[in-house]
Amino acid sequence: MDTPENTSNQTETQSLSSEQTNTTEEPIVLSELFPDARRDLDALFPDPSMKKLLKELVENRKKNERFLKRLGLSKMDSEDDEELAEIQ
């Protein structure tokens, strides 16, 4: 019979193995993510978890920029609508 400890160990083992398969799909090249960097970031951050974190950082920054751009466009549109309402 499985004890709670054995069950949790099996779950942890399964989650670790699934994480390992996800990280082996495509290597992260930091020099491609940060082309303006003055140093070799791949040598500076050899740890795969740090590379993954930095990749997520870049992706989040892009998403935030797109969001702010859309927000700015909608703000400008609403200001234009207000100006048109004042003119009429």
What's the rounded mean pLDDT across residues 50-65? 95
To the nearest whole number, what is the mean pLDDT of the chain? 76
In a 3-state reduction of DSSP, which class is residue 17?
A: helix
Of 42, 44, 48, residue with least CA distance to 19: 48
> Domain boundaries in the chain?
27-87
**Choice among 15-19, 43-47, 73-77, 80-84 with the minimum mean pLDDT:** 15-19
Amino acid at 83: E
- 22 and 49 Cβ atoms separated by less than 8 Å: no
- 45 and 29 Cβ atoms separated by less than 8 Å: no
Give this prediction's pTM: 0.53
Q: pLDDT tens digits, residue range 12-41?
A: 555 555 555 554 578 899 989 999 999 999
pLDDT band at 77 (very low <50, low <70, confident <90, very high): low
